[in-house]
Amino acid sequence: MITKYVLPILLSFGSHLVAQDEPDSKPTSQPTDTAEDRPSETKDDDAADAEEDRFTVIRGADVYTGTGSMLRRASILIKNDKIEAVGHDLDVPDGATEIDATGKAVSPGFVSVGSSGFGAPGTFRLEEVADGLNPWDPSIKLGLAAGITSFGMMANEGRDVPRGKSAVLKLAPGDLEGMLCATDTILSMRMPLDRQQWRKLRELVDQAREHLDAVAKFEEEQKSSAGKSEDKKSNDGKDSAKGGKKKDDPKPPKPPRGTEEILDLLAGKKLLWIDLGNASRGWFMGGPTNSDNEKVRQGLEVAELLGRGVVFNRPITGWVYADRIARTGSMAILEPRSRVEPDEGNPDITGSNLASAAILADAGVPVAVMSPTSNLTLMGLYGQDVNTLHVDAAYAVRGGLDNRKGLRTITLDAAKMLGVDARIGSIEPSKDADLLILTGDPLHYASLVDTAIVNGKVVYERQKETFYSHISR
């Protein structure tokens, strides 16, 4: 997206910059930053001249912001695809589209942390997810009827090393560009590891750390020998290594093979999901039979090894290790609806716990909630499972989770698990305008989505679609 604008601009800005910055690189150095910002702003202004800013205001609803608070009878102002303001006395520009939601509730769009369908490419190879989207997939409307406005999906998951492609997609019917929220924010690996796999992982992490040290040293040297070529700063080591266009400069150290993902994790660019193998056994099969204590413990070791929090994907016994999970800065995705019986020999620390979400949240662990089966295929008995994400969140509340945090588990904290909480998941100024107008409390089972708004556009209206139009509520 950016590159479309940046490239021509950079071209016009003198050859020394072009040689330096290949289109893919993230602007980190000062000159590039300003160079990019200024012209793209003018570009935006041009566009704004051509078509006016769209303003929409939703009035009179109880606004559940997704952060835990609720504003009674408040208004939300949307400018184009972003939320402009939330509150009681808003300056609404003339000509704004008015949506009267008196007596209704507004919530952030629900985030399904792991799904497929909804217009995502059917293939499991996600290399070019953007080029495989189907913005007219009929299941998009179904997902919107269920309140889902975005979801994460993964492919090529890692087994014994962090790996994988991922994407966060939005349910924006007909809007190819609007569907893509983020790509490659997540890596995953599966527990448990055997001793050999542990050795390999430790080696990789060591190599990555050594590489970082080497890069730091290299940059130090570059700085000390500065003066002759100021503009040719190598920013990241990795990027410039790939660029490889320099003729005379000493090359920064190359990352050792296989450590690229680890480097991303160490730099906090991506999140690591720890798959415990629980999701593969559906609740209708009686759920996972084994307790996953050992896997959770190993996952915690991975977090400690990396010095970074990880995301536990559907742990059963996560509640046993709540404090340690909190200490490592890790997060957890839970399935409060499915229950796993404890082992008879060791009932105190095995089996699921309805209070998992409450225990983890009390320890300070961000918790997201997911339905036991995550796809909306509608072919079989359980195809409707993801239809009621809010009910799954309500199960967490039943287990003792603070009512106000209940909604977070399927909005802001769910976005956190996908690494996109800066863009979606709550109703706050400057965030994406993805929200729902509901017939009542977002966590009540009988509440239905009346209107869904994605990227500032109304994309679903209950009365106009067949799914729930027959219900008067």
Partner 1 sequence: MKHLITTTLLSLIAAHASAQQERPLAIRNARILTLAGEPIESGTVLIQDGRIKAVGAKVKIPAGAEVVDADGGTVMPGLVSAWSQAGLSGTRRTAPADQFHGRFRVRSTRQSSPVSKAGSKVSDSLYARQDVFGELLAAGVTTLAIAPMGLGFPGQAARVALDKETADGFVLDDDTYLVIGCAPNSSVKKAIKSALDAGKKALDDRNKPKEEPKQPDKSESAKKPTDSKPSDESGDKPKKGDEPKPEPKPGDEPKPEPKPEPKPKPEPGEKPKPNGKPASDDKKPADKKPEKKKDPNAEAIADLLEGKRSAMLVVSTSQELAHYVEAIDDYEFAVTLVAPNDNAFGGSLWLEPEAVSEVGARILIEPELRTPHYTRVLHDPGAELRKAGIEVGYLVGDTRFEVRDLFYKLMELVRHGADADTVLRGVTSIPAAMLGVEKDVGTVEKGKRANLLLFSGDPLAPTSRLVTVFYDGQPVGKEAAR
Of residues 67, 139, 259, 293, which one binds partner 1 by CB under 8 A? 139
Contact between 361 and partner 1 by CB under 8 A: the answer reads no
Decide whether 14 or 380 has the Cβ nearer to partner 1.
Answer: 380
Considering only 234-242, 257-265, 300-308, 461-469, which stretch makes contact with partner 1 by CB under 8 A?
461-469
CA dist 9 and 32 (Å) reads 11
Q: What is the rounded distance in angstroms from the CA atom of residue 302 to the CA atom of residue 325?
A: 11
Question: Which part of the chain contacts partner 1 (CB under 8 A), choosing from 147-155, 197-205, 234-242, 462-470?
Answer: 462-470
Measure the CA–CA gap between 414 and 110, rounded to whole angstroms: 8
Q: Tell how far CA 311 is from the center of its chain.
A: 12
- Told to check if 180 binds partner 1 by CB under 8 A, we report no
Give residues with Cβ within 8 angstroms of 336, minimum separation 6. Answer: 354, 356, 357, 369, 392, 393, 395, 396, 398, 399
- Count residues binding partner 1 (CB under 8 A): 37
Contact with partner 1 (CB under 8 A): which of 7, 96, 241, 378? Answer: 378
Which strand (E) or helix (H) includes residue 357?
A: helix 356-362
- Please say which residue, 124 or 284, places its beta carbon nearer to partner 1: 284
Does residue 116 belong to the site contacting partner 1 (CB under 8 A)? no
CB 78 within 8 A of CB 456: yes
Residue number, 224 or 466, with CB nearest to partner 1? 466
Asked if residue 360 binds partner 1 (CB under 8 A), the reply is no
Look at residue 16 and give its three-state secondary structure. helix
Instruction: Dig out the tokens for 347 from the structure.
Output: 């009932």
Binds partner 1 by CB under 8 A, chosen from 352, 375, 409, 451? 352
Integer Cα distance of 304 and 154 in angstroms: 24
DSSP 440-468: S-TTSTT--EEEEEETTEEEEEGGGSTTT
Is 290 among the residues that bind partner 1 (CB under 8 A)?
Answer: no
**Residue 122 near partner 1 by CB under 8 A:** no
Site mask for partner 1 (CB under 8 A), range 409-448, x = bound: ----------------------------------xxxx-x
List 103, 347, 364, 429, residue binding partner 1 (CB under 8 A): 347
Site string for partner 1, 247-266 (x = CB under 8 A): --------------------
User: Is the Cβ of residue 55 or residue 460 nearer to partner 1 in the bound state?
Assistant: 460
* HSE-up of residue 33 (Cα within 13 Å, Cβ side): 4
Least distance between partner 1 and beta carbon 347 (Å) = 6
Residue 290 CB, nearest approach to partner 1 (Å): 14
Q: Which is nearer to partner 1, 188 or 353 (CB)?
A: 353
Q: Where are the beta strands (DSSP E) in 164-309?
A: 165-170, 180-183, 186-190, 271-275
Residues with Cβ < 8 Å from 13, sequence gap 6 or more? 35
User: Quick check: helix, strand or coil at residue 81?
Assistant: coil
Spatial CA neighbour of 388 closest among 444, 328, 453, 309:
444
Residue by residue, DSSP assigns 367-424 as EEE--SS-----SSTTTTGGGGHHHHHHHHHHTT--HHHHHHTTTHHHHHHTT-TTTS
Nearer to partner 1, 99 or 394 (CB): 394
Cβ-based nearer residue to partner 1, 253 or 399: 399
Q: d(Cα 292, Cα 464) in Å, to the nearest integer?
A: 46
Taking CB under 8 A as the rule, does residue 468 contact partner 1? yes
Q: In the complex with partner 1, which residue's Cβ is closer, 133 or 391?
A: 391
| Interaction pattern, residues 381-410, with partner 1; x per rule: CB under 8 A | x-xx--xx--xx-xx-xx------------
Give 349 or 422: the residue with its C-beta nearer to partner 1: 349
Residue placing its CB nearer to partner 1 in the complex, 3 or 403:
403
The answer to whether residue 375 forms part of the interface with partner 1 (CB under 8 A) is no
CA distances from 445 to 356, 394, 435 (A): 21, 8, 18
Is 224 one of the binding residues for partner 1 (CB under 8 A)? Answer: no
CB of 401 to partner 1, least distance (A): 10
- Residue 1 CB-density burial (10 A; 0-12 exposed, 13-18 middle, 19+ buried): exposed
Among 317, 316, 290, which Cα is nearest to 372's? 316
Select 75 or 353, whichever has its Cβ closest to partner 1.
353
List the one residue from 114, 318, 351, 425 that touches partner 1 (CB under 8 A). 351
Which 142-161 positions form the footprint of partner 1 (CB under 8 A)?
142
Distance CA 179, CA 318 (A): 33
Residue 304 or 343: the one with the smaller Cβ distance to partner 1 is 343
Binding site residues, partner 1, CB under 8 A: 138-139, 142, 286, 337, 339, 341-342, 344, 347, 351-355, 378, 381, 383-384, 387-388, 391-392, 394-395, 397-398, 443-446, 448, 466-468, 470-471
